[in-house]
Structure 1
Amino acid sequence: MKLVFLHSSDTHGFLLPTDYQNKGEYNAPFSLSRVSSAIKAEKQKYGADNVVVTDSGDCLQGSPLASYAHSTGDFSDLATFTEAYNEVGYDARCLGNHDFNFGLDYLTYYIDNNKAPMINDNILDEETNVPAFGREYTIIEKNGIKIGLLGITTQYIPHWEPKEHIEGLKFVSAFDKIKHYAKILRPQVDVLAVMYHGGFESDPETGKVTEPHRGENEGYKILTEIPEVDVFLTGHQHRRLNVVTKDTAIVQPGYRGEAVAEVVLDIDDETKKIKDMSTKLIDTKDYDPDPKIVDIVKNLDERTQKWLDKPLAKLSEPAPIENAMKGRIEGAPFINLLQQMQLWFTDADVSATAVMSEKAKGFGKEVTMRDVLLNYPYANQLCRVKLTGKELRHIIEHSAGFLKKDENGKISFLERWIKPKPELYHFDVFYPVEYEADLSKPEGERLTKLTLNGKPLDDDKIYHLAVNNYRAMGGGFYPEYSMDKIEFALDKDYVQMFTEYLTHADVKVDTKKNYRFY
């Protein structure tokens, strides 16, 4: 017989097929509504009794629709959001790191109103050391086959979230908990599957290291050291991944609902042993949006569109960014404006930021909520960090290490920041320091100029850096950042900050370029 897993992850609140760039366009090749249609079609193809439907998190944050649903402060909008996910018909789910972005009250409501069991093995109550919510595992039966499902989330969440969003919680190694529960569950089931909001620190087939082994992603360790796992249903890295290796079927279905990952197991009717396994990704662009989800979300979406077009401020001059890639390498007025705002709120000496969206266009003279969310879609907080000049130099050197220059002098990013997953949101630029980097020099020794207000940075002097909490808490594998260096964090998101900053007075956008790579 055939046993089929259909898996989604990292839909990030894109319930309808639009990225909200342009009002009225609903033909984007992704969305939960397309995911739902693809899953329902596959269920009909194989028969519901042969299909297990799973999701591995990052549902509550990421889209303008998700931001609006949270902004109203009305849990009835979160109820609509939750109802849309319930319509898909999941058998089990786990949480993602971005599901914590709006705090525990918001998350708890979502969990309590989710029809599918939330499986949670490694987010614990810090006092009792038992799972803080959900259940450790579930066993479901399909055509006489017993399937065990475990659920884990990246343990790195405390590096990104403010304390109040995770108060009373303890995040432990995904590997350690799967190793523990796999031994308990394996004897009880015919097939063992793991939902993991996390990815791979090494290539799952070759074992080649793809990022520092710091615990954010433990997929390769789980794959190679816990043989009890048959099916590995992953997320977090936004990768498109489907492979069978080491007697395990591994999938990851990309981002925003662009694909549904499918695992097909051929199981012997008598012994109930797996005879064969295959994987594939089903592109959802080939499926019309599920009309039931469209109907559920219609009113919330209409109100979101009106909210997005709400004017926030007027600028005396535009602050564009021609395109994200060029802006990172050459600078752009929008990047400077973002840095100016961060300095205004923190009274820091230096500001660091990344271009957060590949579709960033910056601001025209009139700035709307849509402009802010499309240019800065993350629910980050702004921090001020205390660093020595030597530490700040190390941080800027690390950022210069993202780049390379070919024999024709063309500057581009190293492939490891593009594949297997684009991670250019890790590339920070700095302001108002003036700096230059010679890319022909070894990484860590590239800065040929680094001055602030015309003077070289003093290695022993204390400087104050404005930077978002994701970076300040260790995101991106930068050197020198640590929790104890954070002086304070603002209790505002970037929408609130832009609204306040752009309306406090006439803002003069700095258009000069303060850094150069050569």
Structure 2
Amino acid sequence: MKLVILHSSDTHGFLMPTDYQDKNKYEAPFSLSRVSSLIKSEKEKYGAENVLVTDSGDCLQGSPLASYCHTLPEEKGLQAFTDAYNEVGYDARVLGNHDFNYGLDYLSYYVDNNKAPFINDNVLDAETNTPFLGQEYKVIEKAGIKIGVMGITTQYISHWEPEEHIKGLKFVSGYEALSKLAEKLRPQVDVLVALYHGGFESDPVSGEATEPHTGENEGYKILTQIPEIDAFLTGHQHRRLNLVQNNTAIVQPGYRGEAVAKVIIDFDKISDGNVKINDMTTELVDTKDYAPDPKIEAIVKELDKKTQSWLDQPIAHMSAPAPIENAIEGRIKGAPFVNLIQQMQLWFTNADISATAIMSETAKGFSKNVTMREVLLNYPYANQLCIVDISGKDLKEIIEYACGFLEKDKDDNIKFINRWITPKPMLYHYDMFYPVQYEADLSKPVGHRLTKLQLHGKDIDDDKMYRLAVNNYRALGGGFYPGYSMDKIEKTFDQDYVQMFGEYLTQNDVVVDTKPNFKFY
């Protein structure tokens, strides 16, 4: 007998097969509509009664359509958005960190209007220590057996979200929550499944650390220390993972609905009424080979049409474009668009120094006539701007950390070290700094590479305090940087980056600084 589990994650509001770069192209090899078609096809193949369908979150934010939905009253935008996810036919879901980006009222509307139950074991009401949203677990009958579904999300949300988005919530370790619940639930079910909006801090096979063990990702610890789990269905890192390790099926299906993870559990019912698992297999099924689901297209059609019109609305006119010719090259040599962001952050904050990253690998910068489409394709995150008070010593440590992303290859070319490219591209963690002039010798040990760091011609003073403009994700600890902490945040601005671009570009005759201010050798 067979139980089939189909798992999606990190669809990020890409309901239609487009990345919105070209308003006339709907042929992208991803989307919730393709996910839906694949799942419906698999249900026909195996019988819906034998298929469990799950999702590990990050649905509400990421696509231009998701951004447009947030501008509308919830019953107009978010309801249609939610209806599309309902059409897929999920049996159980968990929330992702980006699902908190628009605050609890927005999130609650989404949860309340979802047909599938949300499982939540570690996002708690701070007063009652009970699940703030959703339910602790769900026992679902499929293929004639009982499946226990537990659910957790990364506890690191409290490091990224502003207080007003998570007020009254308590985020606890997913490992701690599951270790207690798994022991309790295992005797009641035949198969135990854990949904996790989180990933792996160490390689699931070798155990070698792949990132600092901050608690953001606890997958390896869960895998190796909670043996009761049969299927571990993950997300967050946008990785493509499918393997069986420690008698546990492990999957993670990438990003934007590019794939659906499939777990097949072959089992027998034995004489005492228990279930014996004979074998487990995993695979990732790409959605590109499945036509978009016409039912989802019908639900989303009007919303998508209005999104395209919204994206074409002009934001501002610039006297000269601010391009990025290539995202990788822009990080290493600088680019006008990067300096534009820095100049804007300094204008809003009157800070001494600004720090920013290139947020998209397909970023092209701004043309003279800036549209909403250009803004969202270059800066897709719902971040807010902060002022952080740091010492010169802190600043040096922060910039040294950024310099540690780089190395020289055998031909003396500068490139990013592999851990920031695989298993998940994370170059949005790499910051550049302005208007400081800095140089780094990449042949020196990490942490000791800066050979020059000056502000307005004067060396940065270790003991002097400086005001740094940076987004809230970084200020609250995103990217594992040293030198940042919540107590150093002087102010957080109410506007998001879309609003800031609009205000800055319309109230200023912007002249973008095109001169490079940093150098690596």
Q: Which residue of 2 aligns with 1:88?
A: 88
Structure 2 distance, partners of 1:507, 1:138, is 55
Once residues 215 and 431 of structure 2 are traced to their aligned partners in structure 1, the CA distance between those partners, rounded to angstroms, is: 22
Match of residue 355 from structure 1 = 358
Tell me, in whole angstroms, the C-alpha distance in 2 between the residues paired with 1:96 and 1:378: 14
Aligned twin of 1:379? 382
Q: Is residue 2:179 matched to residue 1:179? A: yes
Corresponding residue number in structure 2 for 1:323:
326
Contact residue 266 and residue 278 of structure 2 kept, 8 A: yes
Of 342, 345, 354, which residue of structure 1 is paired with 2:345?
Answer: 342
Matched, 1:452 2:455: yes
Matches within 5 A, 1:52-71: 52-71=52-71
Mapping for residues 486-505 of structure 1, pairs under 5 Å:
486-505=489-508
Q: Distance in 2 between matches of 1:143 and 1:200?
A: 30
Q: Which residue of 2 aligns with 1:293?
A: 296
Q: Is 2:479 aligned against 1:476?
A: yes
Match of 1:368 in 2: 371
Please give the alpha-carbon distance, in whole angstroms, between the structure 1 residues aligned to 2:74 and 2:44: 36
Letter in 1 for 2:223: L
Q: Secondary structure at the match of 1:328?
A: helix
1:405 maps to what in 2? Answer: 408
1-structure distance, mates of 2:335, 2:433: 12
Deviations 1:470-511 (A, max 9, x none): 000000000010000000100010000000000002111111
Where do 1:5-20 residues align within 5 Å? 5-20=5-20
Measure the CA separation in 2 of the matches of 1:15 and 1:143: 30
Offset at residue 73 of structure 1 (A): 3.5
> Post-superposition shift, 1:72?
2.0
Once residues 131 and 448 of structure 1 are traced to their aligned partners in structure 2, the CA distance between those partners, rounded to angstroms, is: 51
Structure 2: which amino acid aligns with 1:25? K
- Distance in 2 between the 1:328 and 1:514 partners? 12
- Which AA in structure 2 matches 1:118? F
Q: Does 1:277 align with 2:280?
A: yes
Show structure 1 runs of 5+ residues with no match. none
Residues of 2 paired with 1:224 and 1:190: CA distance?
Answer: 20
Segments of 5+ residues of structure 2 without an aligned counterpart are: none
**Aligned partner letter, 1:192:** L
2:239 counterpart residue number:
239
Would the alpha carbon gap of residues 277 and 74 (structure 1) be closer, same or farther in structure 2, given more than 3 Å must change? closer
Alpha-carbon distance between aligned partners in 1 of 2:410 and 2:147, rounded to the nearest angstrom: 55
Q: Is the 8 A contact 2:74 2:109 kept in 1?
A: no
Residue type matched to 1:63 in 2? S
1:100 corresponds to: 100
Counterpart for residue 434 of structure 1: 437
User: In 2, Cα distance between the equivalents of 1:331 and 1:128?
Assistant: 50
Matches of 2:71 and 2:241, distance apart in 1: 34
Is the partner of 1:278 in helix, strand or coil?
A: strand
Structure-2 separation of matches of 1:387 and 1:163 = 21
Give CA deviations for 1:46-78 in whole Å, capped at 9, x if unaligned.
111110000000000000000000012343210
Letter in 2 for 1:59: C
Q: Letter of the aligned partner of 1:212 in structure 2?
A: P
Q: Name the % identity.
A: 72
SS of the residue aligned with 1:44? helix
Amino acid at match of 1:372: V
Distance 2:410 2:155 in 1: 42
The amino acid across from 1:282 in the alignment is V
Partner SS for 2:221 = helix
Detail structure 1 runs of 4+ shifted over 6 Å in the superposition.
Answer: none
Report the CA distance between 1:143 and its aligned residue.
2.9
Aligned-residue offset at 1:269? 3.0
> What does residue 443 of structure 1 align with?
446
Separation in structure 2 between the aligned mates of residue 48 and residue 75 of structure 1, nearest angstrom: 31
- Say which SS state the counterpart of residue 448 (structure 1) adopts: strand
Is the 2:269–2:275 Cα contact (8 Å) retained in structure 1? yes
Equivalent runs, 1:157-236 vs 2, <5 Å:
157-236=157-236
State the Cα RMSD in Å.
0.6
Deviations 1:355-379 (A, max 9, x none): 0000000001000000000000000
1:416 CA drift (Å): 0.5
Structure 1 CA distance, aligned partners of 2:319 and 2:345?
A: 19
Q: Is the contact made by 2:38 and 2:287 (CA closer than 8 Å) also made in structure 1?
A: yes
Aligned equivalents of 2:73 and 2:398: distance in 1?
A: 38
Matching residue's letter, 1:500: E
* Structure 1 residue matching 2:76: 3-state secondary structure: helix
Task: Measure, in 2, the Cα distance between the counterparts of 1:143 and 1:420.
Answer: 34
CA apart distance, 1:418: 0.6
Paired residue for 1:313, among 311, 316, 326? 316
Distance in 2 of aligned mates of 1:319 and 1:411:
24
Number of residues of Structure 1 aligned to a counterpart in Structure 2: 518
Rounded to whole Å, the distance in 2 between the matches of 1:445 and 1:71 is 46
Please give the alpha-carbon distance, in whole angstroms, between the structure 2 residues aligned to 1:512 and 1:177: 51
CA distance in 1, matches of 2:75, 2:497: 22
Q: Does residue 1:155 correspond to 2:151, yes or no?
A: no
Correspondence for 2:262: 262
Amino acid at match of 2:399: I
Which residue does the alignment assign to 2:34? Answer: 34
Distance of 2:74 and 2:294 partners within structure 1: 25
Question: 2:74·2:106 contact (CA, 8 Å) conserved in 1?
Answer: no
Contact 2:394–2:483 (8 Å) recurs in 1: yes
Who is 2:336 aligned against? 333
| Paired residue secondary structure (2:275) | coil
CA shift, 1:382, in A, is: 0.4
Q: Distance in 1 between matches of 2:76 and 2:191?
A: 38
Deviation for aligned residue 1:407: 2.7
- Which residue in the other structure is 1:466 paired with? 469
Note if contact 2:233-2:251 (Cα within 8 Å) is conserved in structure 1. Answer: yes
1:419 aligns with 2:422: yes
Residue 425 of structure 2 aligns with an amino acid whose one-letter code is P
What pairs with 1:247-258 in structure 2 (closer than 5 Å)? Answer: 247-258=247-258
SS state of the match for residue 490, structure 2?
strand
**Which stretch shows the higher mean deviation, 319-328 or 71-80?**
71-80
